[in-house]
Amino acid sequence: MASIKLVCPAHGGPLHEDNGQLKSDRGDIYPVVGGVAVVVQGVKVQPRTEPLAPSVIDQLLDALCLHQSRRAVLERAFNQKFSFVEDWIQTEADQFLGRVAASHEGLHRALKMGQEKAEVPIPINVAPSARISSIFNISRLVRGTCCSVNVRVHNDGASTLSSNGANPFLLSYRWIDARGVEYEGKRTELFDDLLPGRSVTLPVFIDTPAKTGSYKLRIRALQEDVSWFEQTSVIFKVKIGWWRATVHDPKWKRTGRQFDYMEDHYEAVRLLAEWRDTLFDRPVEHVLELGGNANPMIDHLDAPHKYNVDVDPYGMIVGKLIREGTDSDVEFIVADGMALPLPRRSIDMLVLFATFHHFPDPIGLLSHLRDFVTDDGLICLMCEPIGHVHLETLNPEYLKELGKGVNEQSFELWEYQQMFDAAKLDVVAVQVDVGSIKVALRPRNR
């Protein structure tokens, strides 16, 4: 079976090679840099104002463990600047470049990381404006206990939202009983200051009422000792009772095993091979990894056709360069996971390794990916974090990523189940290790 041909993400029509670019019949043009197609709507590729010095290219080759024979391609690629329309895509697209720059002070200066925009002071908590929302539902909780649910906070205003200072920005809630009596709850702080235009997923920690009964739970933002944000809230209708579980946790077996980062990924590759052999009644032809960057894990999986899709052009170009002259047969494509440049129902296994939680709209992503797998195909989420994050035990690396604008979030098992149901996907295989879920999903009612 032949390799899948790329299509225009805007219109779905075929793309043709045209003078070193890809072009659709409607005139959409997508660049090809370093042998890697950049199939993202609105992307701009422009030369750096100041080309990198030969000594910087030497440092890059050394940092990336690349031979001098790769010099020309690397130089052309890193002397280009890639600009994306959406800020969160731009942040993700700069990840590889940032890691390379961090490896050497000279590279950090030469690549001008963090120096592209002039620093302009932004006021903090001055006439703040925010929206909160949630994609989850709580219908019953145990009396007299504590739980948490993820909400999304978006800074709509012109000032930074901060949980520090005299009048901090916070999240809280009120319980409203059947008589209309309200009970105010505890506060939840932001993990870090939230810049204008940015969003963050935040678990709100909730103490449940001591008395059983039917309640409304209203989650809102507030500026302490100033006002509540009355225009935006998340409301749940909740029954408080003597249930065994706080929420409807799925009955997925937990192994009790804990792996380090790379062990966890190789365990996931082993599972993928097992699922490929046991969950299909036919040969698996096309496997796609979303978010594999320079080192896709599907390189370790046997399949006739393998595709690695990521929004990071530098990482993808380097990944292709590293594999030139080897027996690797992975095809590298720069594309947005929410706008895949592929024919519908063309992929047998679509896999993500610790990537799913980076998407701001996880249900939207699953619904989109559902269209690209075959009727008996699988969407496999591998090595995804489990559990809500607490401010008191926040990992410094997690906080650092948030500061850069990276979309970090972590879900409880019941939240994963609700997202799968909302996207009309059935769980056909799952492994829950300590802090890591690996799950195979299949489209429902095809």
Residue labelled with tokens 């989650």: 219
Together in a domain, 375 and 270:
yes
Together in a domain, 145 and 95:
no
Q: Would you say residue 251 lies in a domain?
A: no
Whole-prediction pTM value? 0.93
Together in a domain, 30 and 178:
no
d(CA 360, CA 404): 15
Together in a domain, 223 and 317:
no
CATH, residue 366: 3.40.50.150
pLDDT for residue 101: 78
Together in a domain, 105 and 136:
no
d(CA 40, CA 306): 20
The last residue of one of the domains, among 178, 206, 241, is 241
Q: State how far the alpha carbon of 413 is from the alpha carbons of 6, 130, 253, 394, in Å.
A: 35, 28, 11, 20
Together in a domain, 171 and 206:
yes
Together in a domain, 342 and 430:
yes
Q: What is the count of structural domains for the chain?
A: 3
Q: What domain range is 134 assigned to?
A: 130-241
Q: 301 near 309, Cβ under 8 Å?
A: no
Average confidence (pLDDT) per 10 residues, the chain, 446 residues: 87 92 93 95 91 89 89 91 89 83 74 56 92 95 94 96 95 96 95 94 96 96 94 94 78 94 97 98 97 96 96 94 92 96 97 96 97 97 95 88 89 97 98 97 90
Q: Would you say residue 73 lies in a domain?
A: yes
Report which secondary-structure segment, H or E, holds 416.
Answer: helix 413-422
